[in-house]
Chain A
Amino acid sequence: MLLETLASEAAVALENASLFEREREAALQIEFLNDLMSHDINNLNQISLGYLELLRNLGLTEKQRMFAEKALNSVKSSAQLVENVKKLQKLKGGEIKLEKLNLKDILLEVIPEISHRADKNVDVTFSPHDIWISGTPLLKDVFFNLMDNAIKYTLSHDVRIEVCVQELDDSIRVCIKDWGSGIPDEMKTKIFDRFERIGKGVKGSGLGLYIVKMIVTKLSGKIWVEDNPEGGSVFCVEFPGVAK
């Protein structure tokens, strides 16, 4: 009887080991394919983007130029999608390595990048001061996505964004306020789900806020959206602070 029990337990253990091995191999295979695919797609995106830019500079008619611009935007979206899929894989793959980072530096890196746009006039208000957090360079994606969303959902040419950083007792809160089209109440929690988009007229994969939430969650933080009383939205993220 004892031998039978031991044999049965050994069989289960072997089966589990084999399943674990197969799962590990599948994960490695996915990582390899994702890496290969993103590298090769971005090389192809480079060729399309480059030739479309050269074409755009050839003195086209207004209509031809509009077509070239649309194709260019599509290539840029494709590159963004590849990036998002890579980030998702990284986030799902395991724990994030935490490091002591200055939030001011991250925001000062994102703001010029997001403000420099040909299609809109973006004005970002931010009063920089040193705030240390236990984070990851992926925080840049959090703030980039939130500000990019504020721009996408402000329909007018002039976009106003206010970045407010608050040091609370044991946490740091960053709020990004816009004066855009706002988020309906029924969408306020759903927008952080995969493939959800606030409005159908805005392009995107629906992965941006999902990735933002995953990063924030990995950092033991929280994210929510409120109404801006003057019209628009306020996206807030809160992270544990670190000793100064």
Chain B
Amino acid sequence: MSFYILIVDDEPEVLELYQFMLESDNTYVVEYAKDGYEAVEKYKRMPTKPDIVIMDYRMPIKDGIEATKEILSQNLNAKIIFASADPTCKDLAMMVGAKDFIKKPFSMDILIGDIKKVLG
């Protein structure tokens, strides 16, 4: 069984890294968006919704908080994990409905462990 993950980050190197990290496990199929706006639009068009969204905070056009609110307004059951180098957004992220927060830099074990925890 594989899980479908949407990764949202404005840094192409980070997107590529997450893809390698998650696909090395053979359990995850990865899709990505390079800012909050693209994430919301992509989520809207996805016929099968992702099991987890990994969301950055500071991004151009639309930040992670706004994107989280909009994705949750489309689907209240969406599971969003915040992954940011800015820990000051943690409380706000959790308040708007993120399931968890991981602070960059984190190791692969932390990311995969957190995804498994949120997936239950």
A contact set with B: CB distance below 8 Å: 35, 38-40, 42-43, 45-51, 53-54, 57, 75-76, 79
Contacts and interface: CB of A to CB of B under 8 A. Distances in A.
Interface residues of B, number: 17
B85 A50 contact: no
A39 B14 CA distance: 13
B20 interface: yes
Nearest to A78: B105
B73 interface: no
B58 interface: yes
17 contacts: A39-B85, A40-B85, A42-B105, A46-B14, A46-B104, A46-B105, A47-B13, A49-B106, A49-B107, A50-B17, A50-B105, A50-B107, A50-B108, A53-B21, A54-B20, A54-B108, A79-B105
B86 interface: yes
Nearest to B104: A46
Contact of B85 (A43, A48, A51, A75): A43
Nearest to A79: B105
The residue among B11, B104, B105, B106 with the most chain A CB atoms within 10 A of its own CB is B105
Interface in B40-96: 58, 85-86
B24 interface: yes
Interface of B: 11, 13-14, 17-18, 20-21, 24, 58, 85-86, 103-108
Contacts, number: 50
Contact of B14 (A35, A38, A47, A75): A47
B115 to A, nearest CB: 15
Given A39-B58, A42-B85, A47-B14, A54 B104 contact: no
B104 A45 contact: yes
Given A42-B103, A54-B21, 18 more contacts: A38-B85, A40-B85, A42-B85, A42-B104, A42-B105, A43-B14, A43-B104, A45-B104, A46-B14, A46-B105, A47-B11, A47-B17, A50-B108, A53-B108, A54-B20, A54-B24, A54-B108, A75-B105
